[in-house]
Structure 1
Amino acid sequence: MSIRRIEPGPRMSQAVIHGNTVYLAGQVGAPGKSVTEQTKAILATIDELLAQVGSSKSKLLQTIIWLDDMADFAEMNAVWDAWVDPANTPARATGEAKLASPEYKVEIIVTAALD
């Protein structure tokens, strides 16, 4: 089975397709912006990457969300709930972690089906 890499770089690819599954790299929003703004930007990027490979948010299989502070859970969820396809919600986990820079408040990783 072939492996296709989307926007490969020296450290990572933005997406990797193996079979009928697409794995996206962790996505972050603009550093220093609010949790709401970062989450909206991340979800827009996810939409773009999924469309680029022939998938969509209705085909999400799994989502992992990292917050730098779990106190922001409700704020992030307000954006998520407005975006996610309610008929096709993925398996999801949310946790707290130190992110790559203190200016990042949210990172989202998704796995989706292609068909």
Structure 2
Amino acid sequence: MIKRYIQTKINHRVVEYNGVLYFGGLVADDKTKDMKGQTAEICAKIDALLAETGSSKDKLLTAMIYISDFDAKDGMNDAWLEWLPGDILPTRATIGVAELGKDTLIEIVVSAAK
């Protein structure tokens, strides 16, 4: 059975199937923050969505991270590792993109077990 959470105009924030939660891309609301700040804000959003859907960050399976500036990747990694202890890191890919929207430096897509 498919269960959908938090409908927006164009998607659902999370879709659940067979005990796996699939998240749509998340970006920071405060675009004045640097890469580390935007990453930390997104991680807090992921925490809230995980809690709302009955999961937690220790159940993350995979992450796709899109960044518009590879020179700022260290800031992203710093915030990521402050949020996630090393023993629960999911699989991850970081992909450089030309544009994510005005002043958006990073977008994160995750999947987690329920």
TM-score bracket for this pair, using the shorter chain length = over 0.9
Alignment deviations for residues 54-76 of structure 1 (CA, whole Å, 9 cap, x no partner): 11110010001111011111110
Verify: 1:80 aligned to 2:80, yes or no. yes
The alignment of Structure 1 onto Structure 2 pairs a total of residues equal to 113
TM-score by length of 1: 0.92
- Which sections of structure 2, spanning at least 5 residues, go unmatched? none
CA contact (8 A) 2:13 2:24 kept: yes
Letter in 1 for 2:79: V
Secondary structure of the structure 1 residue equivalent to 2:77: helix
Secondary structure of the structure 2 residue equivalent to 1:42: helix
Poorly superposed stretches of 4+, deviation over 4 Å: none
Alignment deviations for residues 54-102 of structure 1 (CA, whole Å, 9 cap, x no partner): 1111001000111101111111001101111321111100011134413
Aligned pairs (5 A) from 1:26-65 = 26-29=25-28, 30-65=30-65
Q: Once superposed, what is the RMSD of the aligned Cα atoms?
A: 1.1
1:102 is matched with 102
CA contact (8 A) 2:61 2:112 kept: yes
2:19 is matched with 20
CA contact (8 A) 1:69 1:96 kept: yes
CA contact (8 A) 1:62 1:111 kept: yes
1:70–1:22: structure 2 CA closer, same or farther, 3 Å change rule?
same
- Which sections of structure 1, spanning at least 5 residues, go unmatched? none
Distance in 2 between residues matched to 1:16 and 1:49, nearest whole Å: 11
